[in-house]
Amino acid sequence: MHGAAEPELGRPGLGRGPAVRVLPRLDDANRFFWTSGADGVLRFLRCDTCRCYVHPPGPVCPYCLRGELLPEAVSGRGTLHSFTVNYQPWIPGDGPYAIGLVAIAEQDDVRLMTNVVDCPEQALEVEMAVEVTFEQVEDVWLPLFRPAGRPRPTAAGA
């Protein structure tokens, strides 16, 4: 999966992420998030009282301090708040890949650092619309994001 190239205009294509995915250590607080993609759906904790989304997961709603937090599905859509293309080979085998900071459509102060995939470097734009696509590595489904509303280039990741 990693390093799938998209050659263009003589510049190296962007990979989907680093050569090695360092994975989160799953625990009772974060497991729902990192396994949410198993059914293709992104989920965040949401307060049943004030209805705010809460991220990262915590034991209490930081807004109202009263409600109960439960995982709830979101649309998987968002906007690219910022991005960078990493060129530094931190790990042997690293090629360039795009790191994005995505604000989710449901609540724009909930953000995810992620990889932006299926998008050439020149097409990356702050505030572009993106949608989630998951990459499974071991027992973790990493939420990556791709330009919204464009046909998938291949069946990969389905």
Partner 1 sequence: MAVDVLERRAVISGIGQSQVGRRLGRSDLDLTVEAALAAIADAGLTRDDIDGLATYPGGAMGGGPFAGPTTPDVQDTLRLRLNWHDGGGEGPGQIRAVFAACLAVAAGLARHVLVYRTVTESTAQGSGGRVGIGQAMGAAGAGRGVPRFGGSFQWMLPFGAVSAGNWLALVARRRMHEFGLTRHQLAWIALNGRANAARNPKAVYRQPMTMEDYLSVRMVSTPLCLYDCDAPCDGSTAVVVSHRDYAADAPSPACHVNAIGTALRGRPSWDQFDDMTTMAARDAAASMWGRTDLRPHDVDTADLYDGFSILTMVWLEELGFCEKGESGAFVEGGKNIALDGPLPLNTSGGQLSGGRLHGFGLLHEACLQLRGQGGERQIAKRPEVAVVANGGGPIAGSMLLTAGRG
**Beta carbon of residue 23, minimum distance to Zn ion (angstroms, whole number):** 30
Asked if 47 touches Zn ion (CB under 5 A), the answer is: yes
Q: Which residue bears the tokens 């190296």? A: 12
Handedness of CA 82, 99, 12, 117 (dihedral sign): negative
Cis peptide before 56 (omega within 30 of 0): yes
**Beta carbon of residue 122, minimum distance to partner 1 (angstroms, whole number):** 11
CA dist., res. 16 & res. 76, Å (int):
18
Asked if 82 touches partner 1 (CB under 8 A), the answer is: yes
User: What residues numbered 40-79 form the site for partner 1, per CB under 8 A?
Assistant: 55-56
Asked if 27 touches partner 1 (CB under 8 A), the answer is: yes
The H-or-E segment that residue 31 falls in is helix 31-35
The binder of 38, among Zn ion, partner 1, none, by C-beta within 5 to 8 A per type, is none
Q: Is 100 exposed, middle or buried (0-12, 13-18, 19+ CB in 10 A)?
A: buried
Q: Tell which one of 97, 106, 134, 146 touches partner 1 (CB under 8 A).
A: 97
Looking only at the bridges linking them, the beta strands covering 111-116 and 53-54 are unpaired
Asked if 31 touches partner 1 (CB under 8 A), the answer is: no
Residues that bind partner 1 (CB under 8 A): 17-27, 30, 55-56, 81-88, 90-94, 97, 99, 101, 109-115, 121, 126-127, 137, 140, 142, 144
